[in-house]
């Protein structure tokens, strides 16, 4: 179980955590920056597709480990009080953060699917889809950032 927690909960040092708290958030930030090229050139390169697959892998690794941890009864650190009612990060426990963590993770999966649709030109004209690609990848980055943030910091309802 400790190994699953290590994989699932890996975070960068606090100096880097302002822009990307986790490797997944970093991968989505790179994907956002990279998506500007296809939007401007109206074509998707192989390297972008490879990075998109790496981002999928970095989504599924913590996703699967998170499911295994949840099935064993664990919740996100910001929702789990330790001695004295504080979390392992020293903040007040906020149980509502557990469902928020799941919500943002679900948004990440849904957004990755939408990005696949935009890149492949399904349901939306290919050129229009590529113009929307930076918007979708920016949303993905925001959700990936929030996945890490809600796992650490309490929300507006700590202790309830």
Structural domain of 144: 1-151
Residue 160 lies in a domain: no
Give the pLDDT of residue 5: 85
Give the pLDDT of residue 159: 56
What does R_g of the chain's alpha carbons equal in angstroms?
17
Give the pLDDT of residue 89: 83
Residue 156 lies in a domain: no
* pTM of structure: 0.90
Residue 99 lies in a domain: yes
Tell which phi-psi region holds residue 121, choosing left (phi > 0), alpha (psi between -120 and 50) or beta: left
Those residues whose C-beta lies under 8 Å from the C-beta of residue 31, and which sit 6 or more positions away, are 51, 52, 55, 137, 140, 141
Name residue 86's beta-bridge partners. Answer: 92
Number of domains observed in the structure of the chain = 1
Give the pLDDT of residue 85: 78
Determine the Cα angle at 123 with ends 121 and 125, to 5°: 50
Residue pair 97/79 in contact by the 8 Å Cβ criterion: yes
Residue 159 lies in a domain: no
Residue 9 lies in a domain: yes
Residue 158 lies in a domain: no
Give the pLDDT of residue 29: 95
Residue pair 159/79 in contact by the 8 Å Cβ criterion: no
Give the pLDDT of residue 26: 92
Give the pLDDT of residue 102: 93
Query: Between residues 95 and 137, which one has the greater pLDDT?
Result: 137
Residue 35 lies in a domain: yes
Give the pLDDT of residue 56: 96
Q: Is the pLDDT of residue 41 over 80?
A: yes
Residue 12 lies in a domain: yes
Do you know the residue count of the chain? 160
């Amino acid at each position: 179980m400790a190994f699953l927690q290590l994989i699932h909960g890996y975070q960068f040092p606090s100096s880097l955590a302002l822009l990307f708290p986790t490797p997944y958030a970093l991968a989505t930030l790179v994907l956002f920056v990279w998506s500007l090229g296809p939007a401007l050139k109206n074509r998707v390169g192989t390297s972008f597709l490879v990075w998109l697959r790496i981002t999928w892998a970095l989504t599924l690794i913590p996703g699967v480990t998170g499911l295994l941890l949840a099935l064993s009864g664990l919740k996100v650190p910001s929702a789990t009080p330790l001695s004295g009612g504080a979390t392992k990060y020293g903040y007040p426990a906020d149980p509502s953060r557990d469902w928020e963590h799941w919500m943002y993770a679900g948004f990440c999966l849904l957004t990755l699917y939408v990005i696949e649709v935009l890149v492949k030109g399904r349901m939306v004209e290919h050129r229009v889809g590529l113009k929307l690609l930076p918007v979708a990848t920016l949303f993905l980055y925001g959700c990936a950032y929030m996945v890490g943030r809600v796992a650490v910091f309490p929300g507006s309802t700590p202790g309830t």
